[in-house]
Structure 1
């Protein structure tokens, strides 16, 4: 697989990560489709193993998201800015502290946005809890699974 195709697969995965944060966009399936595309062109044992693992992880993720309370984004006050900051925080946390850093990064992104908007610690904490109860948990679960798939793919491309 050439550099151009690898960049295109990476771009589709990045769009999938953004799609997780945008209601109505099938972010997890964009990530999976990019992984499938890569595996079909790579044709190695590592590629097929990652595709099977990604498929299993994203299917389990789908079930977990269904079992969580429904995503009520409109009623919780989640603005596109909050979702974007939460997503950026999760990605930054995932990079700084691989895998586990996505969770505090996601919550920290929500808190920082709400602290800036509301001006104090108490109201920001209350708003962060409300966002996480309303839709943040399902968003975090879906984003975390997609970050794991993208991270595994990136590791395979760099070190595999």
Structure 2
């Protein structure tokens, strides 16, 4: 195990953590780490590993926007509500570091839906939005884990 492989593994682990705790661009970090490894290895096999990992990341990115987006449309939650939740989540992140993101987003979604739908329908809409965001995170995490496993297999085989 070389230092390069260890550093790439650490970058992949940080990327996976960045997906669950959305502070870092997790999928891009995983993909960048595998790309760095492929460039440094320079073998055709390493480029195949990168191509497979990139396919997982790209497919996961497409699916993470399509599936939850469709669920939100079905639930009748407009994208403006999510933008308001994201904005309040970002403000919350700076007011209460890290934890504020997880408090600000649902609060922002709830307030936007409260204004739009009223108190009795705001909470179910908020729960629907949170489920969609959770599903989006899960899809991205699965894609990144598959990319990471591809790198591990490439590491063992090459």
- State TM-score, norm by structure 2: 0.59
Q: Is the 8 A contact 2:53 2:148 kept in 1?
A: no
What does residue range 24-103 of structure 1 map to in structure 2 within 5 Å?
A: 24-67=23-66, 68-69=68-69
SS in 1 for 2:37: helix
For the aligned residue pairs, the C-alpha RMSD in angstroms reads 2.8
Matches within 5 A, 1:123-134: 133-134=131-132
Secondary structure, counterpart of 1:150 in structure 2: helix
* Structure 2: tracts of 5 or more residues without a match: 70-78, 90-97, 103-126
Q: Would you say the 8 A contact 2:11–2:30 is kept in 1?
A: yes
TM normalised by structure 1 equals 0.58
Matched-pair contact (CA < 8 Å) for 2:14–2:26: yes
**Larger % of helix: which?**
2
Q: How many residues align?
A: 109
SS at match of 2:45: helix
CA spacing shift, 1:21–1:131, aligned 2, 3 Å: farther
Runs of 4+ in 1 over 4 A off after TM superposition: 70-75, 129-132
Aligned to 2:134: 136
